[in-house]
Chains A and B, each alone.
Chain A
Amino acid sequence: MVDQNLSVPKYWRKIPQYYRLTAVKCRKCGRVYFPPRAVCECGSREFDEYELPRRGKLIEYTVLRSVTSDFEKQRPLAFGIADLGGVRVFGQLVDCPNPDKLGEGAEVEVVFRRVKEDSDYGIIYYGFKLRPVKGCW
């Protein structure tokens, strides 16, 4: 048996969020939540799906050098928080060898990337990442 260390259902059910940043928008007050929530701050439980825009501004970032076992061969990992149409999203920051060269509020685009994989035989997890449009090298 090939040992499966990464769960398939745990990934599969979040595909709308991982692939397309599918948030929820409250039908009553219009608040947008990513990740989705069951109850809005206004008390409403009725939401519509809402895809976040794929362009936004970088708020802050860091470069993690001490990574977890799943990411050993991908280190270092840069992470950023981006404002996508007023919603703050956390994600990996890619294609940016020198993020310290980025200006404040640098423009980022949402890209589709591999996140991690279960050895050479198991599932590949895909998901969104953040990529500075220009300026980090």
Chain B
Amino acid sequence: MAVGIVGWGAYIPRYRIKTREIAEAWGDDALRIRDMYLVEEKAVGYIDEDPVTMAVEASRDALTRAGIAPSEVGAVFAGTESKPYAVKPISSILIDALNLKRQVYSVDMEFACKAGSDAIVNLMGLVKSGLIKYGIAVGTDSSQGEPGEHLEYTVGTGAVAYIIGSTNLVAEIKHTYPFASDTPDFWRRDGSPYPVHGEGFTGEPAYFRHIIGAAKGLMEELGMKPNDFDYAIFHQPNARFPVRVAQMLGFPLEKVKPGIVVDLIGNTYNASALLGLAKVLEEAKPGSRILVVTFGSGAGSNAFYIETTDLLPSRVKLARTVGEMLEDKVYIDYSLYLKYRRIIRMIHG
């Protein structure tokens, strides 16, 4: 049975802040910051946006593109690391916001930035086993960056949703491959407002080791080489890492570039690589072969081999595209950023 993507939807908030604006507030060298991360600007959710609201927006568009009735959905899984409620699911809010039936498997998943892709893998299993017809996998985050700390330069806001099924596929997911280990490169303790990371330690032992492990493992199992793919999309904590990991794996720049969005919206955590995939789906021709490798700190990667079908091009314009949302922007300054992200310590509200 072929399983894969029936529909997809993305959501990027309208507001943006330039990394230069943040650097000026802290007296950092804006050019050096830009050179480190290659992130020009990042998306900022408005004061009333959170991973729940963005998940709803992306999922609605995914349902529209899939052209299926909400009642046909049998599972909804939300991958996030910035839940507004520590206890109380996003997925249950999605059930009512999307008007799904009550008989639906639902859970929120957490594995840093990887959980959204785990939602896809789990739904593939449910579809293959015949337990459900369609499932919704969501990656959504408006994660935290401590003011004045370097995460602030890259942490973005966004969501993406995929309808997974076995009929009317726009792209078949032909293979998956996981790679995970206990590697404490980045974490947020329970009750703590901001994540902590190991700077350089997030690179070689974490990001690069796991992504290369998953990508190589997938290609070895399939007997495929970088040349066999039209696109390669990697998790994007900044714009340097995915380009470098592509080089290490032997992918030319032109195969990586179409799937990079971090330079314009920042790292959207659980949406990151999957938002890159949404952007690629908007331009890919039928029969395109795509490698997607996600990464979550702590640490692990999922690699996917995806091949687009003839149905893909006709679905692109049915809902808001990543391309449109990247253009639809209003710049804000640092003070509005603090207000919108609710970073100013407030007694209430």
Contact = CB atoms under 8 A, between A and B. Distances in A.
Direct contact of A and B (CB under 8 A): yes
B97 A113 contact: no
Interface residues of A, number: 28
A89 B13 CA distance: 23
Contacts of A51: 99
B141 interface: no
A22 B316 CA distance: 28
A20 B56 CA distance: 11
A39 interface: no
Given A19-B96, A95-B14, A114-B48, A126 B349 contact: no
Given A51-B99, A95-B14, A74 B93 contact: no
Which interface class (under 10, 10 to 19, 20 to 34, 35 or more) fits B? 20 to 34
B53 A113 contact: yes
A contact face: mostly helix, strand, loop, or mixed: mixed
A20 B53 contact: no
B57 A112 contact: yes
Given A15-B96, A111-B57, A94 B346 contact: no
Interface string A37-73: 0000000000000010010000000000000001111
Nearest to A5: B348
Contact of B84 (A15, A73, A112, A124): A124
A19 B346 contact: no
A103 interface: no
Contacts of B96: 15-16, 19-20
B328 interface: yes
B46 A94 contact: yes
Interface in A83-137: 94-95, 97, 111-117, 119-120, 124, 126, 129, 134, 137
Nearest to B59: A112
B222 interface: no
B349 A74 contact: yes
A112 B56 CA distance: 7
A85 to B, nearest CB: 17
Contacts of B311: none
Interface of A: 15-16, 19-20, 51, 54, 70-74, 94-95, 97, 111-117, 119-120, 124, 126, 129, 134, 137
The 9 A-B pairs of least Cβ separation, nearest first, read A112-B56, A73-B349, A113-B48, A114-B48, A19-B97, A95-B14, A112-B53, A119-B348, A137-B330
